[in-house]
């Protein structure tokens, strides 16, 4: 008995909490879910979603509805394409009075007593105004995720997320969901505003240009898209270039670091998500991509943003770009202008293999160039290299990867190791930002792994000391 009372008390508390937080989830309510029969449906049958339910309502004279509605705000039934407040014409004797009908959430309102009765009665709304009546729900009343939750198998994880690139919805369906792909495509086409094409990732991206291999599952076979990222419009053929909307925050982080007159060397530029905003900010940009299609759209996007005067574009291998274009540009800057009133950045976003290009920087300058510049304090670029790392401690692993490939340890020149995103279980993407140093640019010999480890241990200790010192200061 005591246990039952406690349970009821806990239930009431939860109800109160939900009412307070406005936490009524339609899919928690059997009445508001699509019919059970749709589970396992392979071909979309919209008619099968029709369902009659009895719903609590409140009848309110139109003239009072503005005063009454704020009292019921958290108790309204909210569903797609369903207005919770609807006009209700009624014949009262000879006089036609206009009434409003307010649809209430069946989890929140089980009887007249669940309403703020004292407040309502002040407006002459009595228990007689409360009633139940039939309502027909149909396919239009549920969002795409609610439809999927009702149709796809319960046991397994369903459709978690999708990416949106202009008019294209890009899916990465797991194998057990593949039999439902036609239905999923059709529902997304119906429900996602502006969606005209639905594609599914066909394989892992392991091709050189990193563009997704994809299968059209619904809609038009039209892959040329326009999409806005961080306020800038990009246009490209999604089937032929790399574009990932999940990187927009990272693109923004880099762009925010840049000030006008800074320099950006973008080694794996794609269609320009770093380069175009940077050039638009009046940085001096050299942008490169090996994929001729990316190169075409990179130029196109720069032209559309009217920033080509600040952006030179290249279509070659990243290593050649660093040696043939970045290096001469750096040497020219170092010789002509040794003021440090601007910053130089090098972005290398090809996470599967960018670290393999880092050895270019070791011994970047030959003996003659070194002699000429040795006595100057140079404006050293910051490299932002992206990499995947697998395992338990991915942050340590990514630093190791950078150091092993650079062939030299990082120390005080390490500016940060930033988590970008989780790609798969135990696989993360990071940005490692470090400053090039005279040592890196002049040293030709590779450090041994023992030397690298020693230096890493020393710099970890130094970092810990600094942290302790900072804490003490605080």
Ligand X SMILES: C[S@@+](CC[C@H](N)C(=O)[O-])C[C@H]1O[C@@H](n2cnc3c(N)ncnc32)[C@H](O)[C@@H]1O
Which amino acids are annotated as binding site for S-adenosyl-L-methionine, given as ranges?
Answer: 251, 289-290, 317-318, 349
Residue 349 makes contact with ligand X by CB under 6 A: yes
Closest CA to 136 of 56, 49, 38, 28: 49
Residues 6 or more apart whose CB falls under 8 angstroms from that of 371 comprise: none
Q: In the complex, which residue's CB is closest to ligand X?
A: 270
Question: For ligand X, which is the closer residue by CB, 219 or 270?
Answer: 270
Binding residues among 248-277 for ligand X as defined by CB under 6 A: 268-270, 273-274
Alpha-carbon distance 285 to 306, whole Å? 14
Choose, by CB under 6 A, the member of 26, 291, 301, 413 that binds ligand X.
291
Residues 6 or more apart whose CB falls under 8 angstroms from that of 160 comprise: none
Residue 148 makes contact with ligand X by CB under 6 A: no
462: tokens are 């130094």
Residue 433 makes contact with ligand X by CB under 6 A: no
CB of 404 to ligand X, least distance (A): 19
Q: Tell me, residue by residue from 153 to 192, as one string, x for binding to ligand X by CB under 6 A and - for no binding.
A: ----------------------------------------
Question: For ligand X, which is the closer residue by CB, 147 or 279?
Answer: 279
Alpha-carbon distance 211 to 205, whole Å? 7
Residue 294 makes contact with ligand X by CB under 6 A: yes
CB of 65 to ligand X, least distance (A): 51
Residue 350 makes contact with ligand X by CB under 6 A: yes
Asked if 89 contacts 70 with a C-beta cutoff of 8 angstroms, the reply is no
Asked if 62 contacts 100 with a C-beta cutoff of 8 angstroms, the reply is yes
DSSP string computed for 45-77: -GGGG-EEEEEEEEEEEHHHHHHHHHHHGGGB-
CB of 289 to ligand X, least distance (A): 5
Closest CA to 114 of 31, 32, 57: 57
Binding residues among 217-246 for ligand X as defined by CB under 6 A: 242
Question: For ligand X, which is the closer residue by CB, 189 or 360?
Answer: 360
CB of 419 to ligand X, least distance (A): 16
Per DSSP bridges, beta strands 427-435 and 382-390 are antiparallel
391: tokens are 């395992």
Binding site for ligand X (CB under 6 A): 208-210, 242, 247, 268-270, 273-274, 288-291, 294, 317-318, 349-350
């Amino acid at each position: 008995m005591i246990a039952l009372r406690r349970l009821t008390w806990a239930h009431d508390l939860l109800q109160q909490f939900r009412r307070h937080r406005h936490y009524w989830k339609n899919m928690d309510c059997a009445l508001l879910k699509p019919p059970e029969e749709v589970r396992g449906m392979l071909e979309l049958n919209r008619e099968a979603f029709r369902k009659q339910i009895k719903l609590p309502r409140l009848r309110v004279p139109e003239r009072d509805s503005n005063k009454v509605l704020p009292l019921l705000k958290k108790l309204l039934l909210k569903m797609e394409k369903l207005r919770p407040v609807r006009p209700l014409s009624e014949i009262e004797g000879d006089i036609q009075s206009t009434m409003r009908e307010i649809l209430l959430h069946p989890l929140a309102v089980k009887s007249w007593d669940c309403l703020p009765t004292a407040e309502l009665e002040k407006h002459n709304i009595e228990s007689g105004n409360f009633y139940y009546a039939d309502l027909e729900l149909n396919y239009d009343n549920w969002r795409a995720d609610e439809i999927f939750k009702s149709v796809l198998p319960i046991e397994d994880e369903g459709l978690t997320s999708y990416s949106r690139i202009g008019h294209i919805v890009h899916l990465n369906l797991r194998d057990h969901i593949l039999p439902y792909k036609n239905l999923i495509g059709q529902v997304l086409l119906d429900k996602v505003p502006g969606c005209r094409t639905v594609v599914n990732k066909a394989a892992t991206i392991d091709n050189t240009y990193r563009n997704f291999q994809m299968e059209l599952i619904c809609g038009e076979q039209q892959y040329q898209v326009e999409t806005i990222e961080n306020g800038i419009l990009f246009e490209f053929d999604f089937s032929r270039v790399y574009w990932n909307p999940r990187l927009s925050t990272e693109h923004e982080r880099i762009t925010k670091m840049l000030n006008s007159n800074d320099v950006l060397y973008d080694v794996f530029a794609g269609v320009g998500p770093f380069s175009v905003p940077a050039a638009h900010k009046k940085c001096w940009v050299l942008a490169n991509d090996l994929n001729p299609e990316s190169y075409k759209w990179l130029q196109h996007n720069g032209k559309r943003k009217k920033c080509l005067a600040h952006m030179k574009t290249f279509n070659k291998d990243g290593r050649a770009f660093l040696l043939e274009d970045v290096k001469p540009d750096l040497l020219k800057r170092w010789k002509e202008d040794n003021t440090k009133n601007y910053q130089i950045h090098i972005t290398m976003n090809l996470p599967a293999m960018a670290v393999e290009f880092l050895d270019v920087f070791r011994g970047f300058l030959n003996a003659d160039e070194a002699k000429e510049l040795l006595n100057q304090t140079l404006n050293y670029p910051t490299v932002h290299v992206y990499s995947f790392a697998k395992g338990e401690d991915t942050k340590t692993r990514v630093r190791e990867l950078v150091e092993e490939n650079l062939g030299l340890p990082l120390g005080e020149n390490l500016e940060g190791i930033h988590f970008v995103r989780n790609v798969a279980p135990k696989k993360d993407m990071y940005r490692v930002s470090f400053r090039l140093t005279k040592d890196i640019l002049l040293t030709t010999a590779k450090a041994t792994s023992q030397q690298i480890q020693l230096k890493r241990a020393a710099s970890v200790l130094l970092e810990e000391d600094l942290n302790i010192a900072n804490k003490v200061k605080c």
